[in-house]
Amino acid sequence: MNFTKKNKVYRFLLTPPKILVIGFAFIILIGTILLSLPIASSTGVSLSFMNALFMATSATCVTGLAVIDPGTELSTFGELVILSLCQIGGLGFTTMATLIALVFNKRISVKERLVLQQAMNHGSMEGIVRLMRKVIFYSLSIELVGALLLSIRFSLDMSIGQALYYGIFHSVSSFTNVGLDIFGSIHGPFSSFSPYVNDPFVSIVIMLLIFLGGIGFIVISDLLGFRKSRKLSLHSKVVLSVSVALVVIGSIVIYIFEYSNEHTLQGLNPSDKIMASTLQSVTTRSGGITTLDIPMLRQSTQFFMIIWMFIGAAPGSTGGGIKVTTFAILIGAMYTMARGREDVVFFRNRISKEVVYKAITLTLLSFLLVIAFTMVLSVTEDRQFLTILFEATSAFGTTGLSMGLTPELSTVGKIAITFLMFLGRLGPLTLAYALSPKPQKESFRYPEGKITIG
């Protein structure tokens, strides 16, 4: 093999999208092996390989769907493995690798900067290492504050040591938008935060952690630097405005739909109803933590939540979905066409047609993925269609909310959801770029044709 052929093979194997796919797959494999050990089980009996793979994928891909209850079926070692996978998956293995490199004063190569750019969905390589330093510092600081606040509250219900452990676990789980909890041994399997539905302190802390993890590290960096720069980037303006709008709209819709539901909001006082509705709106787009019983929600609410899960969080965050910026561009394009204008404009900035096409492509690919996997699960699982669609969308959006189907999945269903969680974390476009050959510029263009639309 000559030098040219070797160089082509090298480029094929080590493009940034491929490194991301291989890196996440490797972390999941390590997690699966560790969770398969007898020491990871609370009973000393090893988890099945399929269950271990599912839980490792769920934690690494910051999804939160669970085929077993971590609080009752995992040992402390198993819970620590889950916690580590949540942290690595939430910040990204590239971020953790950068942290190790910075600790050992290792130079970050151009190739590694390209991978970091791809992982963070950043516009350029300029300042990417500086951004990664901020990501690590901000994330650990936010998780530490969240852990202390939750530990103080939990100390009223348990010993100081246990409260600190629970505070750290659930702070990381909330900020990374995983949503896995270990309250099963205290409040019952798959109980999540339902016992704290009347606790405004816990609800507010959890909402802030999920929201901060979901808006993305670029936006957090912009917000912290606002006092000095007195300006926000277009990306931050769009993410913040759309995210706040989605939270408010979601809270109002859930409040109205569930107001008279005796299984959810009806028994709560007015302030608790508002708090529970707001937390459910925040967590639906990616968080996975809930204080309401999801299977007992009205079908209208469940379908509404499917839409919110599909939209997801912000680019460069710990959340999934098509992302709020993609949703904003789609709404902007629709508004532009309806008004007979040519350009999509946000905050007096024109969005390029290439970005609009990418948003449309990503949305269509995501929609087709969810539909395809929903069809597969409709064959393998004997449940109502809405339940299956809910679970598939939750997996793709890395949300982690469940209507009770996940613990009862068949082996084929577990494989399908596992693969969908992996796709949801990486994003369909990243996987498409990883599997496709290097694009070549076309040397000619076909003549323009006309097709009737609408």
Q: Where are the domains of the chain?
A: 7-434
* Nearby residues of 424 by Cβ (< 8 Å), 6 or more positions away: 61, 63, 320, 321, 395, 396, 397, 398
Average pLDDT over residues 372-396: 95
Residue 286's pLDDT band (cuts 50, 70, 90): confident
Provide the residue type at 341 as one letter: R
| Chain segment 323-336, per-residue pLDDT in tens | 999 999 999 999 99
User: What is the per-residue pLDDT for 1?
Assistant: 45
CA angle 431, 434, 435 (to 5 degrees): 90
Q: Could you tell me which residues are beta bridge partners of residue 396?
A: none
* Nearby residues of 211 by Cβ (< 8 Å), 6 or more positions away: 243, 247, 282
**pTM to 2 decimals?**
0.87
Least confident of 16-25, 202-211, 244-253: 16-25
Integer Cα distance of 207 and 302 in angstroms: 20
11, pLDDT greater than 50: no
Residue 76's pLDDT band (cuts 50, 70, 90): very high
| Chain segment 142-164, per-residue pLDDT in tens | 999 999 999 999 999 899 999 99
* Nearby residues of 299 by Cβ (< 8 Å), 6 or more positions away: 386
65, pLDDT greater than 90: yes
8 A C-beta contact, residue 389 and residue 403: no
**116/305: higher pLDDT:** 305
122, pLDDT greater than 70: no
Integer Cα distance of 146 and 151 in angstroms: 8
Integer Cα distance of 441 and 412 in angstroms: 41
**12/417: higher pLDDT:** 417
Q: What b-and-e string marks burial along 69-85, b requiring 16 or more CB atoms within 10 Å of the CB?
A: bbbbbbbebbbebbbbb
CA nearest neighbour of 408 among 377, 385, 386: 377
DSSP 8-state code for residue 40: G
Least confident of 136-140, 177-181, 431-435: 431-435
Integer Cα distance of 358 and 323 in angstroms: 12
3-state secondary structure of 41: strand
When the pLDDT of each residue in the chain is averaged and rounded to a whole number, the result is: 85
Average pLDDT over residues 400-424: 93
8 A C-beta contact, residue 199 and residue 153: yes
C-alpha Rg value of the chain to the nearest Å: 22
User: What is the per-residue pLDDT for 343?
Assistant: 87
Integer Cα distance of 45 and 86 in angstroms: 23
Share of the chain above pLDDT 70, in %: 83
8 A C-beta contact, residue 132 and residue 98: yes
User: What is the per-residue pLDDT for 241?
Assistant: 94
User: What is the per-residue pLDDT for 185?
Assistant: 84
CA nearest neighbour of 316 among 430, 411, 396: 430
User: What is the per-residue pLDDT for 115?
Assistant: 54
Residue 190's pLDDT band (cuts 50, 70, 90): confident
User: What is the per-residue pLDDT for 12?
Assistant: 45
**421/115: higher pLDDT:** 421
Place of tokens 């599909």: 310
CA nearest neighbour of 158 among 186, 182, 181: 186
Helices (H), 74-199: 76-91, 93-103, 110-120, 128-154, 160-175, 184-187
352, pLDDT greater than 60: yes
